């Protein structure tokens, strides 16, 4: 039981993510997460404004069920499977974030500075979240995939576009944490 | 309901990501600052094991549940598309600590901020759909 409640090591994560990919393909579908953004847009009626969304979302019912599973799994994990959200973060990282004014660094999965109700209901906090989301949604559809579709599925099947996309992910991520975050806080 | 297995697989994947902390804002911040091996170990391990699985798909040692050959979809080619699109994705990922699968998992932890990120992602997808024909490849 202790094993369930304790954090799992990195070397457990990789193979279990690969097992998920294996089962997804074995069940007859292509592993990825971000196409669901398109499907949700189609369901919301985006086909009225752009032909890009004129698709039959019912053909992706399996993926929508996967998404529902992700939400349920997140709820189960947060409520029953994690006794303590403390993260064994590099002390140097903790120091950097503390210097930027972050409180209680690594005592929980999500920093209050971005995820607390106070942050969400402030103009700055709201803009951080919504603009990040817009960048994620636009970027993943333009690039043709996300961490699951490009970094895991694409790299493991040796696809050049996925290597380029992952290089892009890191260019963006590095700009975000080295230049944007220090200027926001 | 033949697709109920995808619901169960989603629950499993969410638990794995949650337990290895691959949904934590701090873990991604640390990764993009190259201050920890943790996330690189997880993603690298997933890619290595998946590459072996892909070889078994390719050689048809493993077929899908219906007996068909498993072939991953070919990604669209293009330097600008992948690099620029990837950079936008990375910017949002680095700032919010959320990417496409984790954003749904985070809904189960912090529903309100995750919902705003998800709403943004849908707006971003809509913008892409509106301008996709005009963008360079």
Task: Report pLDDT digits (tens) over B70-101.
Answer: 999 999 999 999 999 999 999 999 999 999 99
Task: Report pLDDT digits (tens) over A106-152.
Answer: 999 999 999 999 999 999 999 999 999 999 999 999 999 999 999 99
Give the per-residue pLDDT at A98.
97
Q: What is the pTM of this model?
A: 0.96
**Where do we find the tokens 């201050």?**
B35
Check CB contact of A179 with chain B, cutoff 8 Å.
Answer: no
Instruction: Write the CA distances from A87 to A106, A150, B4, B28, integer angstroms.
Output: 5, 27, 33, 12
Task: Report pLDDT digits (tens) over A147-170.
Answer: 999 999 999 999 999 999 999 999
Minimum Cα–Cα distance from B127: chain A residue: A138
Is residue B64 exposed (0-12), middle (13-18) or buried (19+ Cβ within 10 Å)? middle
Check CB contact of A182 with chain B, cutoff 8 Å.
Answer: no
Q: What is the DSSP letter of A47?
A: G
Nearest to A151 by CA among A32, A70, A61, A52: A32
Give the per-residue pLDDT at A1.
63
State mean pLDDT over A19-35: 96
Q: How many residues does chain A have?
A: 185
Cα of first residue to Cα of last residue in chain B, in angstroms, is 40
Minimum Cα–Cα distance from B130: chain A residue: A50
Check CB contact of B100 with chain A, cutoff 8 Å.
Answer: yes
Give the model's confidence band at A5: pLDDT under 50 very low, under 70 low, under 90 confident, else very high. Answer: confident
SS3 content of chain B, % helix, strand, coil (to 5): 70, 0, 30
Average pLDDT, chain B: 96
With an 8 Å Cβ cutoff, are B129 and A89 in contact? no
Check CB contact of A155 with chain B, cutoff 8 Å.
Answer: yes
Identify the sign of the CA torsion A149, A155, A158, A160.
positive
Q: What angle do CA B86, B84, A137 make, to 5 degrees?
A: 55
Give the per-residue pLDDT at A3.
79
State mean pLDDT over A94-108: 97
**Where do we find the tokens 């990501």?**
B17
The interface pTM score, or ipTM, of the predicted complex is 0.96
Taking only residues 38 to 57 of chain B, the set having a beta carbon closer than 8 angstroms to any beta carbon of chain A reads 38-39, 41-51, 53-54, 57
For testing contact with chain B, the best of A17, A91, A167 (most B CBs within 10 A): A17
State mean pLDDT over A13-37: 96
CB B101 within 8 A of CB A146: yes
């Amino acid at each position: 039981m202790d094993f369930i409640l304790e954090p799992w090591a990195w070397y457990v994560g990789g193979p279990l993510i690969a097992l998920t990919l294996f089962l997804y393909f074995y069940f007859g579908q292509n592993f990825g997460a971000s196409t669901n953004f398109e499907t949700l847009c189609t369901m919301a009626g985006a086909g009225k404004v752009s032909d890009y969304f004129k698709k039959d979302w019912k053909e992706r019912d399996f993926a929508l069920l996967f998404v529902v599973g992700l939400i349920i799994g997140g709820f189960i994990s947060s409520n029953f499977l994690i006794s303590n959200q403390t993260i064994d973060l590099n002390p140097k990282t903790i120091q950097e974030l503390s210097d930027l004014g972050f409180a209680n660094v690594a005592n929980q999965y999500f920093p209050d500075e971005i995820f607390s109700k106070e942050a969400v209901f402030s103009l700055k906090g709201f803009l951080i979240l919504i603009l990040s989301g817009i960048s994620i949604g636009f970027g993943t559809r333009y690039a043709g995939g996300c961490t699951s579709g490009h970094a895991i599925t694409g790299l493991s099947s040796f696809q050049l576009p996925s290597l380029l996309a992952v290089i892009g992910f890191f260019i963006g991520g590095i700009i975000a944490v080295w230049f944007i975050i220090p200027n926001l806080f | 309901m033949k697709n109920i297995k995808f619901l169960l697989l989603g629950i499993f994947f969410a638990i794995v990501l949650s337990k290895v902390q691959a949904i934590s804002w701090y873990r991604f911040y640390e990764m993009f600052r190259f201050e920890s091996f943790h996330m690189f170990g997880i993603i690298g391990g997933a890619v290595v094991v998946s590459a072996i699985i892909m070889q078994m798909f390719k050689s048809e040692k493993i077929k899908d549940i219906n007996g068909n050959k498993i072939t991953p979809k070919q990604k669209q080619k293009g330097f600008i598309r992948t690099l620029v699109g990837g950079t936008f994705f990375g910017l949002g990922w680095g700032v919010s600590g959320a990417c496409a699968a984790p954003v749904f998992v985070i809904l189960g932890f912090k529903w309100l901020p995750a919902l705003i990120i998800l709403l943004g992602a849908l707006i971003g997808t809509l913008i892409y759909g509106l301008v996709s024909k005009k963008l360079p490849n």
